């Protein structure tokens, strides 16, 4: 029996106890059929195709949890390509059938995750409320009279109602964060460019981010690590340059004075104040800061020339299909027609001026703690005043991508009216991992459960502990892979799986003779132009890393292994003399494929 809200820890434990991906998919099918919100999905994967996907996974990787996301059901916002399903961007006339997965979806499927459907959104990802779709308006899981938040509306409701472990959204102005707040979820908003946008319909191409909705911060971070990595096909993709935050003495910036605007919503304001007190109890120093330059930067996204990027994304389609647009979305996008190149440059100059002003505020604080949204509205109120009320929702979100920040939105509790509120922790680019322990601690301290289940206990196994930056990453290529005979040496030492990926193309793989259990030898050959070999990157506690390395027998050792995203990590390498007469298996792409082929022969 699966819990009301699905999470990685609970699902993996169930799989380890004998549940199969097919069993989990059958439960998803039952839950989906019983859902009372008919607007969640635009294109659900048919039941029989879901069953077939689960069976295919079990044939491809029969051992439980043998892939990082083995049998994990997830949903995809319908402006992100998933092969076999149409991409509509919530505009039926725009729909097309992609020939391939988006880069992120492909990586998640390769890790064992199963797509259950394409979810509803504010059309062309233009909005923060979830009502701008011809497919209907998904509702808050706590009160169907209220908005779910947008534009990633269906994605958030899918996770919050227990239909999927996670869902992909996108975020230009806050669409990966506002729906999380309104549905008691975690929203992972990565540094722009960390997750490639190849295969995603752009809103504002220069600032768009693919995001993750999950039940816990630990889940969201684990999923992000599978999906991230440089992609040369995306001109805005970036190679990660991890940045740290202080482990102790953390300074958290909070709103003060006239910049505290909640539009009369005293319940959300009270939840924000409670979150500040929790941060203080966690040992942080609370520092008031001036939000003015951030707010003025936020205004540029819709009031400045950046709205022209929305027109650039759909200009040709708008010219022939204007009647197919949601009226509000059409009004916003057509408002860009009068923008000039001079205004575009003036907007860029203004943004840089404001960025310089924010530097003074970052000198005061390491992290900003802001309300995710200052209030919420009923669907009826939003439809009656769609532009003004939507604009209020983005007061504390619109600046984040323009100013190149990482952010994690977490639940902050419930008001007396029964609706949830949320807060977001924000820091400069590539602090994604460094933000996670604080975000996780704030979520746990709020005692608000997960999604629709307010009493759910966040699994201890998903905890993101302070000091995780003290872990050491190591790439394994053979007997230490998940499901292999020596994997217990990692898990028993407290290691956690970071991601599955490939080496760069300069490596060859051989079967070492007379080893028990069988082991491969990974050898780097500069100038060799291969496809790369599958490895898993694990994070070991620093003190356990030394003990682990001491046990490695010759001719194996630890050296730097170059990965296909341009980064490098410590990993298993073999002395060249040991593979002189050994069987080469480079063409198979990795040790797991070799073992599978050997079993089949």
- 362-411 pLDDT tens trace: 999 999 999 999 999 999 999 999 999 999 999 999 999 999 999 999 99
- State residue 493's pLDDT score: 78
Within the chain, all domains assigned CATH 3.10.490.10 are found at 468-600
Of the chain, the percentage scoring pLDDT greater than 70 comes to 98
Place of tokens 């979520």: 443
Token couple for 348? 């860029």
Q: Which of these ranges, 81-85, 457-461, 467-471, 591-595, has the smallest mean pLDDT?
A: 467-471
Mean pLDDT is lowest, of 264-268, 353-357, 498-502, for 498-502
pLDDT score at 542: 61
Indicate whether 470 pLDDT > 60: no
Q: What's 468-600's CATH class?
A: alpha beta
For residue 541, pLDDT over 80 is answered with: no
- Please name every residue paired with 146 in a beta bridge, in sequence order, or none if there are none: 378
**Cβ(123)–Cβ(317) below 8 Å:** no
Query: With bands split at pLDDT 50, 70 and 90, how would you rate the model's confidence at 47?
Result: very high
Backbone dihedral angles phi then psi of residue 549, each to the nearest 5 degrees: -65, -35
Count of CB atoms situated within 10 Å of the CB of 38: 10
If DSSP codes are grouped into helix, strand and coil, which group holds residue 129? coil
Task: Output Rg (C-alpha) for the chain, integer angstroms.
Answer: 24
Residue 399 backbone dihedrals phi, psi, to 5 degrees: -80, -20
pLDDT digits (tens, 9 = 90+) for 511-522: 999 999 999 999
Higher-confidence residue of 334 and 544: namely 334
- Residue 545: pLDDT band with limits 50, 70, 90: confident
Q: How far is CA 148 from the centre of its chain?
A: 19
Q: How many CB atoms lie within 10 A of CB 545?
A: 20
What does the block give as tokens for 275? 């979150």
Averaged confidence pLDDT in the chain: 94
Neighbours of 230 (CB within 10 A): 17
Given pLDDT bands bounded at 50, 70 and 90, which one contains residue 466? low
CA distance linking residue 347 with residue 353, whole number of Å: 10
CATH code for the structural domain at 8-247+428-462: 3.90.1300.10
Beta bridge partners of 119: 41, 77
Greatest mean pLDDT among 175-189, 465-479, 547-561: 175-189
Sheet with 507-511, strands from edge to edge, namely 520-524, 507-511, 583-584
Q: What is the mean pLDDT of residues 317-342?
A: 95
Asked if 219 contacts 462 with a C-beta cutoff of 8 angstroms, the reply is yes
pLDDT at 341 over 60: yes
Q: Answer whether residue 467 shows pLDDT above 80.
A: no
- 547 vs 46, 413, 467, 498, 522, CA distance in Å? 49, 42, 19, 20, 21
Q: Which of 245, 165, 163, 177 is nearest to 209 (CA)?
A: 177
Residue 564 clears pLDDT 90, i.e. is over it? no
3-class DSSP state for residue 74? strand
Q: Which of 125-139, 220-234, 364-378, 445-459 has the lowest mean pLDDT?
A: 220-234
Angle, to 10 degrees, between the axis of helix 307-321 and the axis of helix 327-334? Answer: 120
- E strand or H helix at 296: helix 292-303
Residue 573 pLDDT exceeds 90: yes
Q: Point out the least confidently predicted range of 5-9, 184-188, 459-463, 533-537.
A: 459-463
Residues belonging to the active site: 77, 151, 175
Q: Which residue has the higher pLDDT, 558 or 184?
A: 184
Map residue 286 onto helix, strand or coil.
strand
Residues of the chain with CATH 3.90.1300.10: 8-247+428-462
Please tell me which residue, 492 or 404, carries the higher pLDDT value: 404
- Give the pLDDT confidence score for residue 82 in this predicted structure: 98
As to burial, measured by CB atoms within 10 angstroms (0-12 exposed, 13-18 middle, 19+ buried), residue 323 is: exposed
Q: Please write the tens of the pLDDT for every residue from 136-153.
A: 999 999 999 999 999 999
What is the Cα–Cα distance from 88 to 121, expressed in whole angstroms?
10
Which residues, other chains included, contact 217 with Cβ-Cβ below 8 Å and sequence gap of 6+?
186, 188, 408, 410, 436, 439, 440, 443, 462, 464
Quick check: 577 pLDDT over 60? yes
Q: Pick the more confident residue, 243 or 403.
A: 403
The two structure tokens encoding residue 228: 């991230």
* Banded model confidence at residue 497, pLDDT cuts 50, 70, 90: confident
472 pLDDT more than 80? no
Residue 459 neighbours by CB under 8 Å, 6+ apart: 7, 9, 10, 216, 218
Mean pLDDT of the 234-245 span: 91
HEC sequence for 464-527:
CCCCHHHEEEEEECCCCCCCCCCCHHHHCCCCEEEEEEEECCCEEEEECCCCCCCCEEEEECCC
CB 141 within 8 A of CB 99: no
Q: Which two tokens stand for residue 565?
A: 């995203």
Q: Is the pLDDT of residue 77 over 60?
A: yes
Distance, CA of 182 to CA of 140 (rounded, Å): 6
Q: How many helices (H) and strands (E) does the chain have?
A: 19, 19
pLDDT value at position 311?
Answer: 93
Burial (Cβ within 10 Å: 0-12, 13-18, ≥19) of residue 589 = middle
Best CA proximity match to 540, nearest among 596, 496, 505: 496
Handedness of CA 338, 341, 345, 348 (dihedral sign): positive
- How high is the pLDDT of residue 567? 82
Q: What is the pLDDT of residue 153?
A: 98
Of the listed ranges 103-117, 287-301, 534-548, the least confidently predicted one is: 534-548
What count of residues does the chain have?
601
**pLDDT at 7 > cutoff 70:** yes
Residue 448 phi/psi, 5° resolution? -105, 5
Residue 470 and residue 540 in contact, taking contact as beta carbons nearer than 8 Å: no
**What's residue 543's pLDDT?**
58
Which helix (H) or strand (E) segment is 400 a member of? helix 399-402
Closest CA to 101 of 240, 231, 238: 231
DSSP conformation class of 193: T
State the pTM of this model. 0.81
Q: Which of 71-80, 101-110, 562-571 has the lowest mean pLDDT?
A: 562-571
Give dist(CA 309, CA 179) in Å, integer: 23
pLDDT for 158-176, tens place per residue? 999 999 999 999 999 999 9
């Amino acid at each position: 029996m699966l819990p009301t809200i699905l999470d990685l820890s609970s699902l993996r434990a169930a799989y380890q106890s004998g549940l199969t991906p097919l069993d989990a998919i059958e439960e998803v099918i039952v839950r989906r059929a019983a859902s009372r919100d008919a607007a969640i999905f635009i294109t659900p994967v048919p039941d029989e195709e879901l069953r077939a996907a689960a069976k295919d996974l079990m044939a491809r990787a029969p051992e439980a949890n043998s892939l990082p996301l083995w049998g994990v059901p997830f949903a995809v916002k319908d402006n992100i390509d998933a092969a076999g399903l149409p991409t509509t961007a919530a505009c039926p006339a725009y729909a097309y059938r992609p020939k391939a997965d988006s880069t992120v979806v492909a990586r998640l499927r390769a890790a064992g995750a199963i797509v259950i459907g394409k979810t509803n959104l504010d059309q062309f990802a233009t909005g923060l409320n979830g009502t701008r779709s011809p497919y209907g308006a998904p509702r808050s899981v706590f009160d169907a009279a209220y908005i779910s938040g947008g534009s990633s509306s269906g994605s958030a409701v899918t996770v919050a109602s227990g239909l999927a472990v996670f869902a992909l959204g996108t975020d230009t102005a806050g669409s990966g964060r506002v729906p999380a707040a309104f549905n008691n979820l975690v929203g992972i908003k990565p540094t722009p460019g960390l997750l490639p946008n190849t295969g995603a319909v752009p809103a504002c191409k220069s600032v768009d981010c693919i995001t993750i909705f999950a039940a816990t911060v630990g889940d969201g971070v684990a999923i992000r690590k599978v999906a991230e990595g440089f992609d040369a096909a995306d001109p805005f993709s970036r190679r990660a340059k991890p940045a740290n935050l202080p482990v102790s003495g953390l300074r958290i910036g909070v709103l003060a004075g006239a910049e505290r605007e909640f539009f009369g919503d005293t319940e959300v304001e009270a939840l924000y104040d409670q979150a500040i007190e929790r941060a203080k109890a966690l040992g942080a120093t609370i520092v008031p800061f001036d939000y003015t330059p951030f707010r003025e930067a936020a205004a540029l996204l819709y009031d400045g020339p950046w709205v022209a990027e929305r027109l650039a994304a759909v200009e040709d389609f708008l010219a022939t299909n204007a009647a197919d647009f949601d009226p509000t979305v059409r009004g916003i996008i057509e408002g860009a027609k009068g923008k000039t190149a001079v205004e575009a440059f003036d907007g860029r100059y203004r943004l840089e001026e404001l960025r310089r002003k924010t530097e003074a505020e970052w000198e005061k604080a390491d992290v900003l703690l802001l309300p995710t949204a200052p209030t919420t509205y009923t669907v009826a109120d939003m439809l009656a005043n769609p532009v003004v009320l939507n604009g209020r929702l983005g007061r504390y979100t619109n600046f984040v991508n323009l100013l190149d920040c990482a952010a994690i939105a977490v639940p902050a509790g419930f008001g007396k009216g029964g609706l949830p509120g949320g807060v977001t922790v924000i820091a400069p680019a590539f602090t994604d991992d460094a933000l996670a322990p604080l975000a996780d601690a704030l979520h746990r301290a709020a005692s608000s459960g997960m999604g629709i289940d307010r009493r759910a206990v966040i699994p201890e196994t998903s905890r993101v502990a302070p000091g995780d930056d003290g872990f050491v990453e190591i790439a394994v290529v053979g007997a230490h892979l998940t499901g292999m005979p020596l994997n217990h040496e990692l898990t028993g030492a407290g290691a956690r799986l970071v991601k599955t990926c490939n080496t760069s193309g300069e490596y060859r793989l051989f079967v070492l003779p007379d080893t028990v259990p069988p082991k491969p030898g990974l050898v780097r050959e500069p100038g060799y132009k291969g496809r790369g070999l599958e490895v898993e990157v694990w994070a070991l506690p620093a003190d356990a890393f030394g003990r682990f390395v001491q046990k490695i027998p010759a001719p194996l050792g630890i050296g730097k292994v170059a990965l296909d995203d341009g980064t490098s990590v410590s990993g298993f390498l073999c002395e060249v003399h040991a593979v002189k007469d050994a069987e080469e298996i480079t063409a198979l792409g990795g040790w797991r494929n070799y073992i599978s082929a050997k079993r089949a022969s």
